[in-house]
Amino acid sequence: MKFVRAEYEGEAFYAILEGDSVKRLAHAPYDSVEDDGRVYSVRSVKLLPPAEPTKIVAVGKNYKAHADEMGEGRPEEPLLFIKPSTSIVGDGDDVVYPAISHRLDYEGELGVVIGKKCHAAEPGTARDYIFGYTCLNDVTARDIQKAVSQWTRGKGFDTFCPIGPHIETEIDPTHSVIETRVNGEVRQHSTIDCMTHDVDKLVCYISECMTLLPGDIIATGTPEGVGPMQRGDVVEVEIEGIGILHNRIV
């Protein structure tokens, strides 16, 4: 199923997307899915970011070819950083190019949405905690990231974490193609199975340190081909079996 959040007449709610219909839910779908009976045309609502994470836990250099293009070695363990919840925007929302940056990069990534409180997950149990998957762009002010040793500032600006267009719950994306396009031109093309540390490993490794809560998101790292975006560009992240996330840079 495809889960979204939407806004209608000033009210925001979780919903199921079925074709052109948005079926309103009584509450967030993590514990149970409870239809509240109201159905809207997708054209009559505003779609919102499909999750409300308390944190986005991101993984750096998790594809070998990307670690190599960055030229700073391949980390043996997952290299974690946090993007703030305030960096989240949805499909079709603008990404704001900060005035203090001169190099803004896309990083197309698989986003894993947690569905169940998760602390110290055992190997092989990750699927018990995953609600679904979405497309994610780990937008990065590369000049600011490289100027200091901590990545938070360069990756933490408002609008730097587009997710969407929905959460797909009925897919195993292990072998899916992931592609990033700028104004229709392919810039990144890889498959999810090129990850160094797979989703199961990431859920265990992260939850050994911090409790993951329903709605939290793991940004699982980007493949090779990262590069710059300019104001006015439209950037798309597409993951086979999930959908296409598109955002304009302003």
Ramachandran category for residue 140: left, alpha or beta (phi over 0 → left; psi -120 to 50 → alpha): beta
Tell me how far, at minimum, the Cβ of 107 lies from Mg ion, in Å: 4
Instruction: Please state, in angstroms and rounded to a whole number, the distance separating the CA atoms of residues 101 and 12.
Output: 33
Taking the least distance from each CB to Mg ion, the nearer of 138 and 238 is 138
How is the beta sheet containing 185-191 ordered, strand by strand? 94-95, 243-249, 234-239, 177-182, 185-191
Tell me how far, at minimum, the Cβ of 151 lies from Mg ion, in Å: 9
Tell me how far, at minimum, the Cβ of 45 lies from Mg ion, in Å: 30
Taking the least distance from each CB to Mg ion, the nearer of 87 and 222 is 222
Does 62 contact Mg ion by CB under 5 A? Answer: no
Does 107 contact Mg ion by CB under 5 A? Answer: yes
Q: Which stretch binds Mg ion (CB under 5 A): 45-53, 75-83, 105-113, 187-195?
A: 105-113
Q: Give residue number: closest CB to Mg ion.
A: 138
Which of 222, 225, 243, 245 forms a contact with Mg ion (CB under 5 A)? 222
Q: Which of 11, 62, 66, 64 is nearest to 38 (CA)?
A: 11
Q: Which stretch binds Mg ion (CB under 5 A): 14-22, 125-133, 216-224, 242-250?
A: 216-224
By residue count, the chain amounts to 250
- How distant is the alpha carbon of residue 153 from its chain centre? 18
| Three-class secondary structure of residue 165 per DSSP | strand
- How distant is the alpha carbon of residue 103 from its chain centre? 21
Which of 93, 105, 138, 168 forms a contact with Mg ion (CB under 5 A)? 138
Tell me how far, at minimum, the Cβ of 222 lies from Mg ion, in Å: 4
Residue 100 gets which letter from DSSP? Answer: T
- The residues binding Mg ion (CB under 5 A) are 107, 138, 222
